[in-house]
Amino acid sequence: MKKIVCGWITALFLFAPVSVFAESETPVFTEAPAVSAETAVVLELQTGRILYEKNCTEKAYPASTTKIMTALLAIEDGDLDQKIKVSDHAVGTEGSSIYLQEGERVLLKDLVYGLMLRSGNDAAVAIAEGISGDVETFVGSMNERAKKIGTAGTHFVNPNGLFDENHYTTALDMALIARTAMMNPEFRKVAAAKDWKASREDSDYNYFTNKNKVVYQYEGGTGIKIGYTTATGRTLVASSERDGMEVICVVMQAPDWFRDSYKLMDWAYENFGLQEIAPAERELCALPTQRGRKDHVLIGPKKSILCPVKKDGSEQIGMRFDLPKRAKGTIRRWQEAGWLDLSVNGEAICKQKLYYLEDV
């Protein structure tokens, strides 16, 4: 890409993606398949671009997919090697269980695996009490974290997803929460695990197998969580990766939950691919300096900037630089310089950080 000298705060550049196929092989964009889900969404993980949606902002009930947030907070706020003492409150939790015993001391890591793989409602309560002291305080943290992620229609009242009229979300919000969680390396390992051997000394229930068939059945499946109650119906948050592109698919109130997810993810991979916008550590533009030893400083990304676009080459990518008019003072390499805003066909997709690539 030609270097651009930026002497302004924002500048917009447009270009069409280059197809990775020969002209005779360029695929035709196809419509998304019909699904049984009442509400659904597919988004690309790195940028968060929505590739497909069906009523994705309508109110729905998450059931055990709630545990994605519970696990994320356990990993972010807890010590996975810490042992949690199990209360009688946790033991008495209804529904799916890893059969905790009152007074048992269990590694937080084992509780997280039991939570995600076996959907242990008792594990969720034990985690909440171990991290925050009580369930109510932990649920407050869940709601705060959801707001920071950018959810607009989510309210949690428990850490396990047992049905409550005031415990709700949307397919889009669950996708945003899952996207954030999957950017955490420890969470990714848990979500993708097919099984786990816990180290509970006084229990025979130490071997957990994953209830989420995505990690067994789907090509490139990487997670994440199933959810079901009689009141909420079937809900699935699935993730997968092919050809360097990773997607998250959420289907809610979906009688044919796994088939819905597989069809939508197949469709996404058939019709979308990643376009490189800027190579890693390569100059994307140059900014004038103020009384520097050089009259300009090079700016670019640390990692390659990619954007998901339709494979038929029909979409136009927009780049808008959000930078100061001039670089002031002493500049150090990898100091943050500003942002690159990406859009597709005029619709904002994401913001990517830009850095100074040299000392000045």
Give me the active site residues, please: 64, 67, 119
Contact 172, 141 (CB under 8 A): no
Going by the DSSP 8-state scheme, the letter that residue 232 receives in this structure is T
DSSP string covering 124-157, please?
HHHHHHHHHSSHHHHHHHHHHHHHHHT-SS-B-S
Q: Walk across the sheet containing 347-356 and list its strands.
A: 4-5, 285-288, 296-300, 347-356, 336-344, 317-322, 10-15
Say how far apart CA 208 and CA 215 lie, in whole Å.
14
Q: Which residues contact 149 (CB under 8 A, 6 or more apart)?
A: 176, 177, 180
Q: Is 182 helix (H, G, I), strand (E, B) or coil?
A: helix
Contact 178, 188 (CB under 8 A): no
Contact 231, 61 (CB under 8 A): yes
Torsion angle of C-alpha atoms 91, 95, 98, 103, degrees rounded to 10: 0
Report phi then psi at 315, rounded to 5.
Answer: -105, 150
Is 101 exposed, middle or buried, given 0-12, 13-18 or 19+ CB atoms closer than 10 A?
A: middle
In 3D space, the residue among 52, 66, 90 whose CA is nearest the CA of residue 267 turns out to be 52
Q: Which residues contact 28 (CB under 8 A, 6 or more apart)?
A: 312
Given the structure tokens 């996404």, which residue do they identify?
A: 268
Say how far apart CA 335 and CA 195 lie, in whole Å.
42
- Determine if the peptide bond prior to 317 is cis (ω within 30°): no
Retrieve residue 20's tokens.
């990775």
Given the structure tokens 């003492």, which residue do they identify?
A: 85
Say how far apart CA 75 and CA 116 lie, in whole Å.
12
